Amino acid sequence: MKFKSTVDRVVGRLPEADKQEVAKEMEERFLTQYASKGPEREKLNWERKAIRLADTATNQLLQEYSEKPFTFPEKNIYILDRKDWTGDVNTAGIYLPRIQSIFMQPRQNKLNFYKNLFHEMLHAKSYYAVQVPTQGQEAIRDYRMGLVVRTRNNEKDYFRSLNEGLTEELTKRYASRTFGDEMFRDEQAVDFAYSGERNALQQLCVKLSHRDEELYPSPKAVFDAFAKAMLNGDVLKLGRAIDQTFGKGTFRKIGEAKDDSVQLQKIVNSL
């Protein structure tokens, strides 16, 4: 169950009272948005409508996977002029969980803006665990973000590539349900990203269902298991099934592909 923020769990070897203090700090960040980075330009009316539509549509996704819906506030979403964007110019948007905010570049194409916003909002509504500061650490750190797992020393993370592919595939399947809104009437078709990651995920779903039909009778059953794990954080059952089917250590190997879609595809193709 989430706190009054996107946080589901606080982990670390500290007393429960200290963990609650971390939870309160994250709630403060979520509610006050004190940590905004970069100047925000005023949102256009259609952008505000796109935000409301994405919030509603992502909540419908959560409900279909038996997860409790919650609103990601408009004030937590910042739209920056291109001149104020300090990140990769090819990145349309980014969710920064530790400051509980989404940052978007403006896009002339309303459909692309909406699709990219849906993707980032889905990240925000996925499972999220933070680490409490320990000796030698001064800041709250990410630990789990959807399927992504970060080591306690913050030096490595796993499953980032698979997590992005799953998020974009869910975006394709669910955001597209609302593409018929009148706001998008004059827009051209949208291109979905992470094609390599999405293809690897789909291949993995097919292979696992063929090898373990009793547990996963169809590729959709595997895909749904991945989606639920991304949303509720329970990856153990899925990880055990993959290791039992393809050999011990396979799940970790898939996770080590990080953000390398080519490596991820090679691993899945070898199974």
pTM of the model: 0.93
Residue 8 corresponds to which amino acid?
Answer: D
pLDDT in tens, 59-73: 999 999 999 999 999
Question: What was the pLDDT predicted at 63?
Answer: 97
Query: Rounded CA gap, 111 and 93, in Å?
Result: 14
Query: Rounded CA gap, 85 and 210, in Å?
Result: 46
* Residue range 19-28: mean pLDDT, rounded: 90
* pLDDT over threshold 60, residue 112: yes
Question: What was the pLDDT predicted at 56?
Answer: 97
**CB 78: neighbour CB atoms within 10 A?**
20
* pLDDT over threshold 50, residue 76: yes
pLDDT in tens, 124-171: 999 999 988 666 566 788 999 999 988 766 667 899 999 999 999 999
* Residue range 6-30: mean pLDDT, rounded: 89
Question: What was the pLDDT predicted at 38?
Answer: 58
- Residues composing the chain: 271
* pLDDT over threshold 50, residue 1: no
Token pair 């905004």: residue: 36
- The backbone torsions φ and ψ at residue 165, rounded to the nearest 5 degrees and listed phi first, read -65, -40
| Least confident piece of the model among 125-139, 171-185, 226-240 | 125-139
Spatial neighbors of 108 by CB under 8 A, at least 6 apart, are none
Which residues in 89-104 are b (16+ Cβ under 10 Å) and which e? Answer: eeebbbbbbebbbbbb
User: Which pair of structure tokens corresponds to residue 148?
Assistant: 């992504």
Domain ranges for the chain: 1-31+128-151, 33-125, 159-271
Provide the β-strand partners of residue 95.
102
* pLDDT over threshold 60, residue 94: yes
Query: Rounded CA gap, 263 and 258, in Å?
Result: 9
Question: What was the pLDDT predicted at 135?
Answer: 62
Question: What was the pLDDT predicted at 231?
Answer: 97
* Residue range 24-49: mean pLDDT, rounded: 84
142 and 97 Cβ atoms separated by less than 8 Å: yes
* Residue range 111-130: mean pLDDT, rounded: 96
* pLDDT over threshold 90, residue 49: yes
pLDDT in tens, 180-207: 999 998 888 788 999 999 999 999 999 9
Question: What was the pLDDT predicted at 132?
Answer: 81
Mean pLDDT rounded to a whole number for the chain: 90
